[in-house]
Amino acid sequence: MVTILAWSPGWPEMIIILVIALLIFGRRLPEVGKSLGKGLVEFKKGLKGVKEEMDQVDEEVRQAVDDIDEPAQLEDQSTANDSVSSGSSTTRAKTEA
């Protein structure tokens, strides 16, 4: 047996809620709708600002990681070049002896 824990209003319930809202707010309902719309616009602007800020931080982190990785790669390359050159000098020393 499936038990539904959350109540979701259907069309009859929505109509009842709308009638109650009209009775409570009456003439002020357009003002309430307008202020609700302004609130939603401000909320969306806030979310957009947060998203831009998160993108900026992500880009800064990527740049920092790239900056950290570049010297390590350069050190690895120089170490590899040193080991190759030292290996060839030991080979030359062995062939000369």
Q: What burial letters (b/e) apply to 33-49, b meaning 16+ CB within 10 Å?
A: eeeeeeeeeeeeeeeee
pLDDT the model gives residue 71: 61
Question: Is residue 22's pLDDT more than 60?
Answer: yes
pLDDT digits (tens, 9 = 90+) for 35-58: 999 999 999 999 999 999 999 999
| Closest listed residue to residue 66, CA positions, set 54, 56, 78, 74 | 74
Query: Between 21 and 56, whose confidence is greater?
Result: 56
Q: 29-38, 50-59, 87-96 — which one is most confidently predicted on average?
A: 50-59
What does pTM read for this prediction? 0.42
Boundaries of domain holding 25: 21-87
Assess contact for 21 and 29: CB atoms under 8 A.
yes
Tell me how many domains the chain contains: 1
Query: Within a domain: residue 65?
Result: yes
- Residue 30 is predicted with a pLDDT of 83
